[in-house]
Chains A and B, each alone.
Chain A
Amino acid sequence: MHSRTSDRADVRAPLRASASDGLKIVVVGGFGVGKTTMVQSVSEIRPLSTEETMTQAGVGIDDASFVQSKTTTTVAFDFGRISLDEQMVLYLFGAPGQERFWFLWDRLFAGTLGAVVLVDTNRLADSWYAIDRLEYHGTPFIVARNNFTEPQHTLEEVRDALDLPSDIPVIDCDARDRDSSKAVLVALARHLYSLSTSSAARETTA
């Protein structure tokens, strides 16, 4: 809308002016399972990457401690974006695969609606850790089997191997395919909705 060619910042697929509410979903799973690929498939912008430096708690109160705080961990992640309506914009984060990132989970992805756990059936054990952390943080999730190659296990076998309760959806997907990846997000949203209605029913209305 402003200068169209001179300033690259102006042409970066801007959101609509009414956008006002950012939402977060994360895609987690083992190393190289297709997280970035899935973000790319569904994003309305070319996926971006950035990083966050996390310092130890209590550091950074004054200038001196800020300078001296060498105990920082840098976490890189990629993300994409989907405009849902006039107000809501969903940001989809591809979490780093390495386990050393996970202790930062709650600070980095606080306020996440839910997670997609991508699994490769040749390496099911790679997703145990992710599931463990999600359960620990109480983050709702679904499991999606990325069919890189001929799956080695049925969805029921995946459910058993991961010891998942029956109410957690386990579905198939092809992370490279937009419709398939979209269906994964729809399944997660449906799961979140059903959790919210059942917990709303449990709460005594004020």
Chain B
Amino acid sequence: MIRGPLDSEDPDRLYTVTGGRSRADESVFDMVTLIVSESEPSLGMQSEHVKILRMCRRPMAVVEISSYLGMPVSVVKILLCDLLDTGKITARHPHAARPDNGGLPEPETLKKVLVALQNL
């Protein structure tokens, strides 16, 4: 099931959407970074930006935004960079996981995960 609904997305269109930019700081976003709008869409804003601002009135993960917009995660990250740069969104990055040192989260965090799952 490698083929997805986005296969039909024209690469040229994705290129247009992102203004042809691919910035280094997209890497600040994880797939599960939670995005929150800090302002309402304004006149003349790019339609994808408008959609993101509307979606993220409550926190929403990058991967969910990607799914709802029907655009690959990497493209969404570029769109989010613009909004972050202009202060229109804030980003809540994952902090329990510690991918940088390849280690597990703190035992206290995992205990909380365990208890929460047990109580579902």
Query: Which residues of A (170-206) have their CB < 8 Å from a CB of B?
Result: 182, 185-186, 189-190, 192-193, 195-197, 199-200
How far apart are the CA atoms of A12 and B106 in the complex, in Å? 32
A133 to chain B, nearest CB (A): 15
Q: Size band of the B side of the interface?
A: 35 or more
Stretch from A85-93, A118-126, A154-162 contacting the other chain: A85-93
- Number of interface residues, chain A, beta carbon within 8 A: 65
* Secondary structure of the B contact surface, majority rule: mixed
How far apart are the CA atoms of A205 and B21 in the complex, in Å? 45
Query: Which residues of B (96-120) have their CB < 8 Å from a CB of A?
Result: 96-99, 102-107, 110-114, 116-118, 120
The residues of B that contact A17 with a CB separation of less than 8 Å are 58-59
Whether, in the assembled complex, A141 has its beta carbon less than 8 Å from a beta carbon of chain B, the answer is no
A88 lies within 8 A of B112 (CB)? yes
The residues of A that contact B120 with a CB separation of less than 8 Å are 42, 82, 182
B93 to chain A, nearest CB (A): 8
How far apart are the CA atoms of A12 and B59 in the complex, in Å? 11
B54-71 vs A, CB cutoff 8 Å, 1 = contact: the mask equals: 110111110110111010
Query: Which residues of A (1-55) have their CB < 8 Å from a CB of B?
Result: 1-2, 7, 9-10, 12, 14-17, 19-24, 42, 48-55
A113 lies within 8 A of B102 (CB)? no
Whether, in the assembled complex, B7 has its beta carbon less than 8 Å from a beta carbon of chain A, the answer is yes
B73 lies within 8 A of A51 (CB)? yes
Whether, in the assembled complex, A67 has its beta carbon less than 8 Å from a beta carbon of chain B, the answer is yes
A3 to chain B, nearest CB (A): 9
B69 to chain A, nearest CB (A): 9
23 A-B pairs within 8 Å (CB atoms) are namely A23-B32, A51-B4, A51-B6, A52-B72, A54-B74, A55-B74, A61-B22, A63-B21, A74-B72, A79-B67, A81-B64, A88-B112, A98-B2, A111-B99, A113-B97, A113-B110, A182-B117, A182-B120, A189-B117, A192-B104, A192-B114, A199-B103, A200-B107
